Amino acid sequence: YLKAYKNAIVLRIRMPMDTISNERNLINKLVGYPKVIDSIPNSVTFLSTLAQAIEFLAGNKKTGIYHVVDGDLTHREILESYKRYVNPVHTWNSITLEELRALTTTGRSNCTISNLKIKDEGFPMLDVHQTLDVTMQKYADNYLMEDSP
C-alpha cells in the first residue's frame, strides 16, 4: 500500500525506553517482573533517539522504511543500569526461555534488527550503552522527583 504514496515514511521501533516512568516503558516493565530472561539481546529504541530521527528524516525529506533502534541490549544490562542509577536494592531472578515457557501461555519474541539504513543516511547514533546510561540517569532524576512531596 505504501508504494502508492511517494512521500510516505515508516519508522519501526523495538522495545521503547524513556526517561519518564510509564507502564509502556520497557524499564517499568522489567522492574515489575520478579523473574526475567536476562541473557538474550534485543533491539531497543530510546524515545529521545526516535524524536531526533523524526526531525532528521522529515527535515531531509526521506521516505521508505527505517528501523529506529539504538542497538541491542540484554534485560540484564538494563536492570543493572537501573540498579546502578535508580534503586541499588532492586533484585530479580534470572530464568531461561524454557523456564518462561513453563510459566506463560503466550510466546516470547526476541528480535535484533539493523539500524544501518538510518545510519547510512547520516543520522548520528551514540553507542547503545552510552544512551542507556544517559537515559537511566534522567529516569532516576524523574523517579526521585515523583517521590518528592
Give the DSSP per-residue string, 64-89.
Answer: EEEE---EEE-HHHHHHHHHHHT-TT
H/E segment holding residue 120? helix 116-120
Q: How far apart are CA 84 and CA 107, in angstroms?
A: 30
Q: Helix (H) and strand (E) counts for the chain?
A: 6, 7
pLDDT of residue 125: 95
C-alpha cell at 117: 539504513
pLDDT higher at 37 or 101:
37
pLDDT single digits (tens) 44-90 = 999 999 999 999 999 999 999 999 999 999 999 999 999 999 999 99
Q: Over the range 93-113, which residues count as b (16 or more CB within 10 Å of their CB) and which as e?
A: eebeeeeeeeeeeeeeeeeee
pLDDT higher at 4 or 139:
139
pLDDT higher at 113 or 7:
113
Tell me the Cα Rg of the chain: 17
pLDDT single digits (tens) 108-140 = 788 999 999 999 999 999 999 999 999 999 999
Hey, is 17 helix, strand or coil? strand
Angle between helices 128-147 and 47-59 (to 10 degrees): 120
